[in-house]
Amino acid sequence: MKIATILLTLALLAGGVGFAADANRIVVDGSTTVGPIAKAFAEYYMKLNPRVNITVSESGSGNGAKSLVNKSCQVASMSRLLKLNEFEAAVHSEILPVVHVVALDGIAMVVHPGNPVAKLTLAQVKDAYLGKIRNWSQLGGPNAPIVIISRDTNSGTYETFEGKVMKGEKIVKNCEYVGSNGAIRQRVQSTPAALGYVGIGFLDDTVKALAVDNVMPTPETVKNGSYPIARPLYLVTNDYPKMGSHLYRYVNLYLSKKGQSMIEEIGFIPVTSY
Amino acid sequence: MSDAASRLRRLAAFLSKSLLLMATAMSLVAVLLIIVYIARDAIPFFKLHGLKELFASAAWFPSGTPPEFGAWAIFVGSALVTAGAVVVAVPLGVAAAIALSDILPYRLRQAVKPVIEVLAALPSVAYGFFALVIFAPLLQQRGGSLLAVAAWLVLLPLGLLLILIVSGAATRSVRPDVAPAARWILAAALAAILLRGLLALGSLLASLTVASGTNALNVSVVLGVMALPTIVSVAEDSLQAAGRELREGSYALGATRAETLFKAVMPAAGSGIIAAVILGVMRAIGETMVVWMASGNAAQVPQPWYNLLSPVRTLTATIAGDMGEADQVLGSSRYHVLFALALCLLVISLLANLGSEWILRRKQRRLGGAK
């Protein structure tokens, strides 16, 4: 079934190269984290320019890079930079990836609202995910085994967490993997002993965010660089878009006042400050 | 004139025949292509890493440096979840099939069967949502008492039934004038033992705390329910196919309803029931969405291995979950290992399919021979 879908998709993609050149059609593919921004931008832009058709898929940063290299999308939305081998593959396919930093994102450590623990150090977070700390009592909480929850290894959020917190060491085997930010929030709000992480944009009062190294995850702390688990979010195009083209105006929406308020509304931190 | 007409008719017949042939060939070609393409992308993995790493190690770190591809825990996870689903679905499904075909009045049966078949029509993501949002928190909050209640519900009627049968059989040779009294005393003694045992088991289960509700038990129960409609309808069909003559013949020989069911109908429908079970198992092995959402996806062998309360990772969820980041462009091991897993899954389901096919054919031969 899945293979049949892949074959079908490949067939469609082969046909898709033809209309990819159409200047009124923009295809965005990539990160589930950047997806909401790309979607909000797309809706706004299509309302202003009804003849332009923008489709946004969220299949993970890696897929975004893949699609850009395959020329099946014009914009890859990514929550990490291209890896060296992805860059290499791109250059090999005569694609020059140009990176636009559209917003910033912090990863917040979250626990159940009833959990008395309010702050952890980065080292404690790492030890919990390494399985060296296994009980909340070791972190000043109740006597309950920690239920470690992570995004799936397929997500940009995971890769940032792995890079910023784990620094290449392996997450403990009993860690549970979950397919989306929303699903992590759902698991944490219903599991008293859970420890998970979500993008700051996905924080709400159903879960409790922890201070890391005594810094709360807020837009200000991410922007001034004091919050340790933070990253830029990218849109990647092939070459810099032709000035004045639809692609150019779409990708640069983040620099406008409207773009800033859209990014804030979704819960990310804009790079501009009007 | 009529010559031309008959030629046209022959052409039409030829065209329609070849169209039908093509339609049939289409699905055959699709199956073959799937096997070929999966194998083609799986073989590079075995060339690079050999067989040993995949099957003998339980260290699954596909994104680590260096990556490790030990899938033993994933195979165990799949097996555990499937076994759990079988334990849930087979007794329930076969019992429901018997009730539908032989016990329930005809009109009730007409109402109940479509409802059971609705279970098959629900999309698996709906099951997954239920498992994640409702069942998992429920297991965490009341897991122990829930298990205790389930144990009581299942074991009490089963135990009482067994006691009645055993006490009846044991007192058959006793003198007729004291037999009823002896039977009652024996049954009461056995019932007391049963109650003691159930109380002990109940309090043991109730004292369990479930740390995480997304675990093998959760998924087993949900997959079991998902496999139910398949098992019920196939098993019910084969019980029906055993025929009226068989049942009436059995009653005519003086057999009770239970004897007719267990000694005449079920042996006749046996291979159909086994085929139903295999089909149900396949449904459980192949299911992806529910396990991806609610099994926890932790690539670990539970400690001890039968601990259904620990999160596990299955083959299907691993393939679905890791595909996005696996490097398709350059074709890394991380990409090929998923095809190696898919190949294993394919081999398992092929074997199961062939098995059920063989069982069904054997039944047909036997029925054909009897005529």
The per-residue b/e assignment along A122-151, b for 16 or more CB within 10 angstroms, e otherwise, is bebbbbbbbeebeebeebebeeeebbbbbb
Alpha-carbon distance of A273 to A260, in angstroms, equals 8
Q: In this structure, what token pair is assigned to residue B320?
A: 């679905």
Q: Residue B104: give its domain's CATH number.
A: 1.10.3720.10
Domain that holds residue A254: 3-104+232-270
Shared domain for A156 and A249, answered yes or no, is: no
Residue B150 lies in a domain: no
A190 burial level (CB within 10 Å; 0-12, 13-18, 19+): buried
Report which of residues A17 and B113 the model is more confident about: B113
Q: Is the confidence at residue A16, as pLDDT, over 50?
A: no
Question: What residues of A are in contact with residue B323 (Cβ under 8 Å)?
Answer: 154
CB contact under 8 A, A89 and B310: no
Asked which of A4-13, A38-47, B66-75, B154-163 is least confident by mean pLDDT, the reply is A4-13
Q: In this structure, what token pair is assigned to residue B317?
A: 């969820």
Q: Is the confidence at residue B361, as pLDDT, over 60?
A: yes
Shared domain for A169 and A109, answered yes or no, is: yes
> How many domains are there within chain A?
2
Shared domain for A212 and A241, answered yes or no, is: no
The reply to whether B26 touches chain A by the CB within 8 Å rule is no
Shared domain for A89 and A118, answered yes or no, is: no
The reply to whether B292 touches chain A by the CB within 8 Å rule is yes
Shared domain for A126 and A194, answered yes or no, is: yes
* A175, A187, A190 member nearest B298 (Cβ): A175
| Each residue's pLDDT tens digit, A36-92 | 899 999 999 999 999 999 998 877 788 889 899 989 899 999 988 998 999 999 999
Shared domain for A132 and A209, answered yes or no, is: yes
Q: Is the confidence at residue A23, as pLDDT, over 60?
A: yes
Alpha-carbon distance of A100 to B334, in angstroms, equals 29
B14 burial level (CB within 10 Å; 0-12, 13-18, 19+): exposed
Domain that holds residue B65: 36-145+204-370
CB contact under 8 A, B213 and A145: no
CB contact under 8 A, A174 and B133: no
Q: In this structure, what token pair is assigned to residue A41?
A: 């931008």
> What single string gives the DSSP state of each residue in B206-253?
HT---S-SSSHHHHHHHHHHHHHHHHHHHHHHHHHHT-HHHHHHHHHT
Shared domain for A23 and A34, answered yes or no, is: yes
**A:B CB pairs within 8 Å:** 101
CB contact under 8 A, A147 and B328: no
| Each residue's pLDDT tens digit, A110-156 | 999 999 999 999 999 999 999 999 999 999 889 999 999 998 887 76
pLDDT of amino acid A252: 94
Q: Is the confidence at residue A2, as pLDDT, over 70?
A: no
Residue B153 lies in a domain: no
Q: In this structure, what token pair is assigned to residue A92?
A: 């090999």
Looking at every residue in chain B, the average pLDDT score rounds to 86
CB contact under 8 A, B296 and A176: yes
| Residue of chain A nearest B319, judged by CA positions | A2
Q: Residue A72: give its domain's CATH number.
A: 3.40.190.10
Please, where are the H alpha helices in chain B?
2-56, 72-98, 106-121, 124-129, 136-170, 179-206, 216-241, 244-252, 257-259, 266-286, 289-294, 315-322, 333-370
Which residue in A10, A29, A187 has the most chain B C-beta atoms within 10 A of its own C-beta, making it the best mutation to test that interface? A187
Alpha-carbon distance of B371 to B366, in angstroms, equals 9
Residue B112 lies in a domain: yes
DSSP H or E run through B175: none
CB contact under 8 A, B329 and A86: yes
pLDDT of amino acid B327: 53
For chain A, list residues whose CB is within 8 angstroms of any CB belonging to chain B: 2-4, 7, 59-63, 65-66, 69-70, 85-86, 89, 144-145, 147, 152-155, 158-159, 162, 168, 170, 173-179, 183, 186-187, 190-194
pLDDT of amino acid A160: 78
| Each residue's pLDDT tens digit, B102-117 | 888 888 888 888 888 8
**pTM of full prediction above 0.80:** no
Shared domain for A98 and A142, answered yes or no, is: no
Q: Is the confidence at residue B370, as pLDDT, over 50?
A: no
Q: In this structure, what token pair is assigned to residue B123?
A: 């999309």
Residue B59 lies in a domain: yes
> How many domains are there within chain B?
1
| Each residue's pLDDT tens digit, B232-279 | 989 999 998 888 899 999 999 999 888 898 888 888 888 888 888 888
Is the CB of residue B236 less than 8 Å from the CB of residue B103? no
pLDDT of amino acid B70: 87
Shared domain for A155 and A203, answered yes or no, is: yes
| Residue of chain A nearest B60, judged by CA positions | A173
Q: How far away is chain A from the Cα of B284, in angstroms, using its nearest Cα?
A: 16
Which residue in A173, A185, A189, A195 has the most chain B C-beta atoms within 10 A of its own C-beta, making it the best mutation to test that interface? A173
Residue B165 lies in a domain: no
| Residue of chain B nearest A32, judged by CA positions | B324
Q: Is the confidence at residue B366, as pLDDT, over 70?
A: no
Question: What residues of A are in contact with residue B34 (Cβ under 8 Å)?
Answer: 3-4
CB contact under 8 A, B63 and A162: yes
**Is ipTM beyond 0.95?**
no
DSSP H or E run through A237: strand A230-238
Residue B305 lies in a domain: yes
Residue B27 lies in a domain: no
Q: Which residue has the tokens 């559209």?
A: A102
pLDDT of amino acid A20: 44
Is the CB of residue B109 less than 8 Å from the CB of residue B240? no
Shared domain for A177 and A78, answered yes or no, is: no
Q: How far away is chain B from the Cα of A153, in angstroms, using its nearest Cα?
A: 7
Question: What residues of B are in contact with residue A158 (Cβ under 8 Å)?
Answer: 63
pLDDT of amino acid A4: 52
Q: Which residue has the tokens 């290894």?
A: A153
Q: Is the confidence at residue A208, as pLDDT, over 90?
A: yes
* B64, B140, B324 member nearest A60 (Cβ): B324
Shared domain for A202 and A159, answered yes or no, is: yes
- Selection from B271, B304, B284 nearest residue B227 by Cα: B284
Alpha-carbon distance of B271 to B363, in angstroms, equals 6
Shared domain for A110 and A134, answered yes or no, is: yes
| Residue of chain B nearest A6, judged by CA positions | B34
Asked which of A16-25, B147-156, B254-263 is least confident by mean pLDDT, the reply is A16-25
CB contact under 8 A, B327 and A62: yes
pLDDT band per the 50, 70, 90 thresholds, residue A261: very high
Q: Is the confidence at residue A10, as pLDDT, over 70?
A: no
* Torsion angle (degrees, nearest 10) of CA B230, B231, B233, B236: 170
